[in-house]
Amino acid sequence: MFRSLSTNLSGILAYQQSLNNIANNISNVNTAGFRSSTVSFSDLIYRELRERRMHVSPIEGELEPQNGKGVRISSSTDSFVQGSLAQTQRDLDLAIQGDGFFRIIRPDGSFAYTRSGSFIMDPAGNILTVQGDSLDLPFSIADLTGAGEDAELPPGKLVVSSEGAAYWDNGDENPVYLGQIQLYKFVNTAGLLSENGLRYTETEVSGAAVEGLPGEDGFGVVRQRFIELSNANLAAEMVNMLISQRSLQSNIRALMTSDELWAYTLQVRS
Amino acid sequence: MIRGLYIAEGAMITQQARMEILGHNLANQQTPGFKKDNGIQTSFGEWLLYARNTTGLPESPYPIGTMAHNVALSESYTSMRDGNLNNTGRSLDFAITGNGLFQVENEDGVLYTRNGHMFLNADGYLVDVEGRLILGENGPIQVIAPGREAFVDLERDIAVEPDGSILVLGEFVDRFDLVAFDPELNFTKVGDNYFEPFEAAVELDTVIVNRYLEGSNVDLAAEMVKMMEIRRNYEAAQKIMITYDGILNKAANELGSSG
pTM, 2 dp:
0.87
Strand partners, B71: B43
Q: How far is it between the farthest Cα atoms of chain B?
A: 99
Sign for the CA dihedral angle at A76, A38, B189, A10 comes to: positive
Is the Cβ–Cβ distance between A47 and A69 less than 8 Å?
yes
Interchain CB distance below 8 Å, A77 and B17: no
DSSP state of A28: T
B190-248 pLDDT tens trace: 999 999 998 878 899 999 999 999 999 999 999 999 999 999 999 999 999 999 999 99
CB contact under 8 A, B27 and A74: no
- Closest CA relative to residue A39, chosen from A236, A240, A253: A240
| Rounded-to-integer distance, Cα B182 and Cα B214, Å | 19
Question: What ipTM does the predicted assembly reach?
Answer: 0.87
Task: Give residue B54's pLDDT band: very low, low, confident or very high (50, 70, 90).
Answer: low
Q: Spell out which residues of chain B touch residue A211, defining contact as CB-CB under 8 Å.
A: 150
**How many residues appear in chain B?**
259
Q: Which of residues 125-164 of B touch A (CB under 8 A)?
A: 129-131, 144, 149-157
Digitized pLDDT (tens) for each residue of chain A, 270 residues in all: 578 899 999 999 999 999 999 999 999 998 888 889 999 999 999 999 888 888 888 888 888 899 999 999 999 888 888 889 999 988 899 999 988 999 999 989 899 999 888 898 887 778 888 888 888 887 777 666 554 555 566 677 888 898 988 888 877 778 888 889 999 988 888 889 988 778 899 988 888 888 889 988 788 999 999 999 999 999 999 999 999 999 999 999 999 999 999 999 999 886
Interchain proximity A246–B16, CB inside 8 Å: no
Closest chain B C-alpha to A137 CA, distance in angstroms: 19
